[in-house]
Amino acid sequence: MSDAKLEISGSGPRSSRSCMIAFVPTQTHGGSQAPRLTFVTDGMDRLSFGVENEAQFANPVFVQNNARVAFRTDKASTRQFLTSEMGKMFRSQQLFFVTAKRSDSSKYVSSRYDNLDFDALLAAIEKHCPFDAESMMSDAAISARERAEQALRLSDSDLKMIRWALSKRYSGSSAEPELRSSLSGVERNYLKQYAAANGFPASLYLTGDLANRLRSEGSTLAALAPPPKPVERWNSVAGAVWKVRGRVRVAIGYSGIVSSESEAKTIALAQCRSAGGPNCKATGAWSSGCVYITVGSNTRGAGWNSSADYDETLRKCRANGYNCKPPIGGCIY
């Protein structure tokens, strides 16, 4: 790739290539003999910067506002670049020069750089190289990407498919994710890796093309996923009969409708015990149909009865000659 500002070269597939980026000067002293500023990328987040054909030059420096600074650096992180003098110089968009002495003639030559739009240069680099140029962009450029993603108006269901595809690719999980209205930080890092590996600019933010591709992959996973297990519904009753100073006591408990057999029995027993029963026993648990339980007493004793029918439970209790309380319980259909 070559234009009026950059020349980008590299070999191998885009997903793994190392790129050399030569910055075309606005003007030179020494013509083609002048030093050109270069970046060489190494992976997603490291770069070396210096001059092209560095063996032809001695002591290259950049000059800005009469300050001269040596700048040869190997495999710096993007954060290190941003805090370096060169990084500050690029982001300032102010005039600077690169000067050096030719090794073959001992003549001093230089290149002039001005009006560099660093965000635009980084956007050009990320189109051709699997490099996290976005991490060096200005806050204004990042905000523009956030707004562009929001303008896609992706639904929670769309994001679910996208997140499903990313999770499968990078965590190995095929589990269906829950609905959520945004990507997590981990998912955005997955997105950046996915984008770089698939020919897109390495970015934390979705574009239309990237969203469509991931949504399609997620939809394929959804079609292959087993149907969700049906939600189980259980209930249970428990009762106890005991004597205190010769008088018969009775306690009962009902679980309500819960999601497991063991939970239904546990709750029914707890309800019975909270009513005073020292020896509560669950009569079983049901995942369909109805169950009711009641308690009754008279001057001679007390007891409890249960059945699948409200009226039948009350009838059985009264058949014992008891004054019976309204049954408690419920149905699962």
Question: What's the pLDDT at 180?
Answer: 93
Whether this model's pTM surpasses 0.75: no
Distance CA 254, CA 332 (A): 14
> What total number of domains does the chain contain?
3
- pLDDT (tens digit per residue) in 137-153: 999 999 999 999 999 99
Q: How confident is the model at residue 162 (pLDDT cuts 50, 70, 90)?
A: very high
Distance CA(133)–CA(185), nearest Å, equals 18
Same domain membership, residue 19 and residue 132: yes
Flag whether 1 is in a domain. no
Of the candidates 93, 98, 92, the one whose C-alpha atom is nearest the C-alpha of residue 72 is 98
Confidence of residue 71 (pLDDT cuts 50, 70, 90): confident
Statement to judge: residues 73 and 174 lie in one domain: no
- Rounded Cα distance, 19 and 130, in Å: 9
Say whether both 219 and 239 belong to one domain. no
Range of the domain at 174: 140-224
- The CA distance from 260 to 87, in Å, is 61
Q: Tell me what pLDDT residue 205 has.
A: 98
Inside any domain, residue 263: yes
* Co-location of 206 and 298 in the same domain: no
Residue 209 DSSP SS3: helix
* Residue 226 binned pLDDT confidence (cut-offs 50, 70, 90): confident
Residue 15 has pLDDT above 90, yes or no: no
DSSP class per residue in 226-249: PPPPPPP-BEEEEEEEEEETTEEE
Q: Assign residue 186 a region: left if phi > 0, alpha if psi is -120 to 50, beta otherwise? A: alpha
Tell me, yes or no, whether 126 and 193 share the same domain: no
Alpha carbons 53 and 37: distance in angstroms, whole number: 10
Q: At what angle are helices 185-197 and 208-224 packed, to 10 degrees?
A: 100
What is residue 67's predicted lDDT score, i.e. its pLDDT?
86
**Beta strand extents in the chain (DSSP E only):** 6-10, 19-23, 27-29, 37-42, 46-51, 57-64, 67-70, 73-77, 96-102, 108-113, 235-244, 247-254, 281-286, 289-297, 302-307, 323-324, 328-332
Where is the domain boundary, 97, 120, 137? Answer: 137
Residue 188 is assigned to a structural domain of this protein: yes
Euclidean distance between the first and the last CA atom of the chain, given in angstroms as a whole number? 68
Examine the fold and report which residue of 85, 116, 137 is the final residue of a domain before the chain moves on. 137
Which of 64-73, 143-152, 303-312 is the most confident on average?
143-152
Q: Lowest mean pLDDT: which of 92-96, 211-215, 233-237?
A: 92-96
pLDDT given for residue 275 in this prediction: 93
Q: Are residues 96 and 110 part of one domain?
A: yes
Q: What is the pLDDT of residue 179?
A: 94
Whether 229 maps to a domain, the answer reads no
Query: Are residues 312 and 214 both part of a single domain?
Result: no
CB 331 within 8 Å of CB 234: no
Residues 73 and 148 in one domain: no
Question: Above 80 in pLDDT, residue 72?
Answer: no
Q: Is residue 201's pLDDT more than 90?
A: yes
- The mean pLDDT of 197-225, rounded to a whole number, is 95
Task: Looking at the structure, tell me whether residues 302 and 242 fall in a common domain.
Answer: yes
- Considering the domain architecture, whether residues 11 and 132 belong to the same structural domain is answered as yes
Which pLDDT value is given to residue 2?
87
